[in-house]
Chains A and B, each alone.
Chain A
Amino acid sequence: MDTVDLVRANLLSPMVLAFVLGVVARLVRSDLKLPEGIYAALSIYLLFAIGLKGGVSLSLTPAGEVWLPALAAVVFATIAPVWIYAVVRGVARMSVADAAALAAHYGSVSVVTFTAAIAFLDTLGVPYEGYMPALVALMEIPAIVVALMIARVQAPPAAEHTPVSWHTVLHEVLAGRGSVLLIGGLSIGLLSGAGGFAQVAPFFDAPFKGVLVFFLLEMGMVAAGRLGDLRRAGAFLVAFGILMPIAHGALGAALGWMIGLSPGGSTVLGVLAASASYIAAPVAVRIALPEANPGYYLTATLAITFPFNLAVGIPLYHAIAGLIHAW
């Protein structure tokens, strides 16, 4: 399949179409909405299930095989916010807080984009390293911490404002439900192994993609609610929300190739690099950097980057990974 075919196949998957349905539902002002607790329940399910699968795969992988990808993932997630921050400040002259907020979101990863990529590869029958979900857990937090540190250093809070303490911020990131579920699921998967997972697989494995459909339906509605902000966001944000993922996607895929991942694994690493966080980063940024405008970071991640990655990015990074590996 060439890229256009891949895009077409991807666009017609139930997950992507559910996102589109969500957008349409909002645009026609339907009264459709997932009940309050359901969205939260779905996200708890997805985070925990991904952690669990990652842990089980880790328990089956020799440590010698994992350390290099793990290290690469952490290093990428740690230094990516630095250049994101520099680009945003340099090119768009946004405030320190706004630039740091974007760095936190784009340096971290999106669990939903990751799962969409997995579904995409599964459908194509492309194999990838089983421990990839573990990388999600590793790449979620570092960028957020680094970006918030940058903000503190670059614009120390004014004396008259008691800023949120470092301790609170770190707590928010590390004990946030995203981290607890991912890392907790990972640990449980690791400790209980394939035998333990087999007991709960009918709940955490088989229905996974179906749950994702509802999750994407809701994300479509939320993203559509942000479309109005797009106009106000301006050209920079739109360009940033598309070009930054492409650059990161290519970089991630190349990195995957360098450290010896399979083409599928390189695709996933590209997707992780290209994706922007929707669960951990917004909460942490809102609390630690309240002066950053959510109209920028939420609009960019939700209304631009997420749909772009879902529809075009995932097959694109797969094609790029294919080229790099074939080269």
Chain B
Amino acid sequence: MALIIYFFLFSPYRWWMVINWLQVLMNSLVWGCMYLLATVGLSLTYGLSRFPNFAHAEYITFGAYMAYMFFSILGLDLYLSVGLAVLSSALLGGLSYILLFKPLKSRGASLIHLMVASIGLGLLIRHTLMQVFGGGILSFKMIWSCIFIGPVVTTPLLLTAIVTAFIVAILLHILLMKTKLGKAIRATADNPELAAASGIDMDRVSLFTWLLGAALAGFSGVFLAMRSSLVPLLGWKVLLQAFAITLLGGIGSFYGTLAASFILSLSENLGVVALTWLGLSADYRSAVAFIVLVSTLIVKPEGLISTVKRRA
């Protein structure tokens, strides 16, 4: 830490002068939005079903591949294909809940068994996708022209992603706060026994959450893939970040996730700036998520906004 401060203040190059800080902020905003979409579902299902679903990464990948299939192979309209992709991703999430996780839970599977099963499911989905679409890189073949907003460069896709994320956030806020279903979701995440006792249809609430979470994951997958390209490891590459955000935000907490997404993306981008200027490999970027994760566990294991009790 002292080293970093020293570097900040006394480096002979005054390198912080040459950095376009606004651009760094912009990148953080974009990534925060992507992380938000990718993570909300993970956090909600984690809160509701009480286990981390490692297959969530594969919902992201699946959504992207489905969008690719509808758009580039079947040649459907862009918006229609994205919609269909989100739907099929939701379907995958719902199916994996109904066919795998729900029966497993009702058989009294332990937390670890659930985690192992979810990793297995993730590998199954990933390698099935690899088998169908090949292990190669696919691309949506779209060109985004750059837009200059002052010193900041961006593209229409990124702006769309930001706007979408904000709309989704507002809709989620309304859903969770204003509707009966949303209240049921929050109540169940808070205390499943109490919720069941007070007449909430747990099955319906859980299923809805899984559908919603997977749908949002698929949505984020489409953005991630359009921004870069489509590979079978697309989802796995953001999974570590997603978990860091989930834990930092507090499991099952939407607002926590919202805040944590932006905190993590900002610290990642600042981290990359620091790394490149310290002469270290920018590869360490994902270590930022790890550091956030571990320090959360040490300092505030219940996350920013806690809903679920952490101690066994």
B is a partner of A:
no
B residues with CB within 8 A of A = none
A residues with CB within 8 A of B = none
